[in-house]
Amino acid sequence: MAAATLLLLMGGGALIGLLLAVLGAGGSILLLPLLVTGAGLPIQAAVPLSLLVVSLLALGNIGPYLHRRLVAPRAAVLLGLPALVGSWIGGSWVKAGLIPEVVQLGLFSAAALLASWLLCCLPVSGSGSGGRVLSGAANLGLAGQGFLVGLLTGIAGVGGGFAIVPALVLLAGLSMPLASGTSLVLIFANALMALLALGHWPAAQLPLLLPLVGGGAIGALIGQTIAPRLPERLLRLGFSALLIGSALLTGWEASRRLPTTPGWMSASPSRISSH
C-alpha cells in the first residue's frame, strides 16, 4: 500500500470516527467517496468494505451514548425494523446485479442533498428528552423513512445515519444528541444486515481495514470527549454542510462514470457473487 494512500485512509478514518462520535452519522457518507474516489476501488468492492468499517466504528461509539442514556428505544424500533427489511432487499438487489454503479452513486448523492435540505429548512421540535408522542401518521412516516434508509444502506453501502438523524429529529421530535445515539444503534444493525444480504466478504480489500479502523478509533476518542460540549445548532449546521459536500463529491464521481458506461441503465454485467 502506497504511503499516500495509507495516510489518506488513516486521515479519512479519523474524520469518520470523529463524526460518528459527535453526530451519530457521517461515517459512510464520507467513506464511500473516500474508497471510490480516493482509494480507486470499484464500487462492488467499496460497498462491502464500507459496510464493514462503518458497523465496527458505530459499535465502538455506542458505549458513551448508552452511558448518558441517549438512546430512544421506541423510535429505534419504529424506524429500525423496517430499515432492516429494506437493507436486506437492497443488498439482495445489488448481489443479483440489478443496480448499476452509476445508479448507486446517484441515489447516494440525491439522498444526501435531500436530507441536508430537510435538516436545514424544516423546524425542529425536539425536547431533549424522549421526543414527542407520535401520531399514527408520524409512526407510519417514521417506518416508511426507515424502510427507505434500509434500501439505501443495502444499495449504496452506507449506514444510513445521514438520513436516520434527520428522520428522528424531524419526525420523532428527538434532540440532536438523542437522535445521534439512537442512530448509532441503527447504523450498526443496518450495516450488518446489508453485509449479510450482499453475501460478499471484501477479502481482497481487508488490508485497508487496519488504517481505516485505526484512524477511526483515534477520531472516536476525540469526538467522545468534545461531543457533550457542542451546542445543538452547531451540530445541525455542521451535519448539513457535511451532507452537501459528500453529495457533491459523489455526484461528480457518478457524472464521471456516466459517459463511459455503456448500457448504464441496465444491470451491471459484473455481478457480485456470493463467497
pLDDT at position 269, please?
Answer: 42
* DSSP character string of 148-171: HHHHHHHHH----HHHHHHHHHHT
Measured torsion, CA atoms of residues 185, 186, 192, 194, in degrees rounded to the nearest 10: -170
Domain membership flag for residue 57: yes
Residue among 268, 242, 262 nearest 30 (CA): 242
Main-chain dihedrals φ then ψ at residue 134, nearest 5 degrees: -90, 140
For residue 270, the model assigns a pLDDT of: 41
pTM over 0.75: no
123: its cell numbers: 423546524
Q: What is the pLDDT of residue 121?
A: 64
Provide the grid cell at 2. Answer: 502506497
Domains contained in the chain, number: 1
Listed in order, strand segments (DSSP E) in the chain are none
**What is the per-residue pLDDT for 271?**
41
**Cα 91 to the chain's mean position, in Å?**
14
Residue 175's alpha-carbon distances to 68, 84, 183, in angstroms, are 14, 23, 12
Return phi, psi of residue 213, to 5°: -75, -35
pLDDT of residue 134: 58
Within-domain flag for 68: yes
Interatomic CA distance for residues 174 and 52, integer angstroms: 28
Concatenated DSSP letters of 96-115: TT-S-HHHHHHHHHHHHHHH
Give a yes or no: residue 196 inside a domain: yes
C-alpha cell at 134: 407520535
Provide the 3-class DSSP secondary structure of residue 66: helix
pLDDT tens, residue order, the chain (275 aa): 678 888 888 998 898 888 888 877 766 677 877 888 788 888 888 888 888 888 888 888 888 889 888 899 988 898 889 988 988 898 889 888 888 878 887 887 887 787 777 667 655 444 444 555 556 677 888 888 889 888 887 887 666 777 787 778 877 788 878 888 898 898 888 888 888 888 777 788 888 889 999 999 999 899 888 877 877 677 767 777 877 877 887 788 778 777 554 554 444 444 433 33
The reported pLDDT for the residue numbered 82 is 92
Q: Distance between CA atoms of 100 and 115, rounded to whole angstroms?
A: 23
Assess if residue 7 is contained within a domain.
Answer: yes
Residue 263 forms part of a structural domain: no
Q: Residue 272: inside a domain, yes or no?
A: no
* Number of other CB atoms surrounding residue 192 within 10 Å: 21
**Where in the sequence is the domain holding 163, given as residue range(s)?**
3-257
In a domain? residue 9: yes
CA distance 235 to 226: 12
224 within some domain: yes
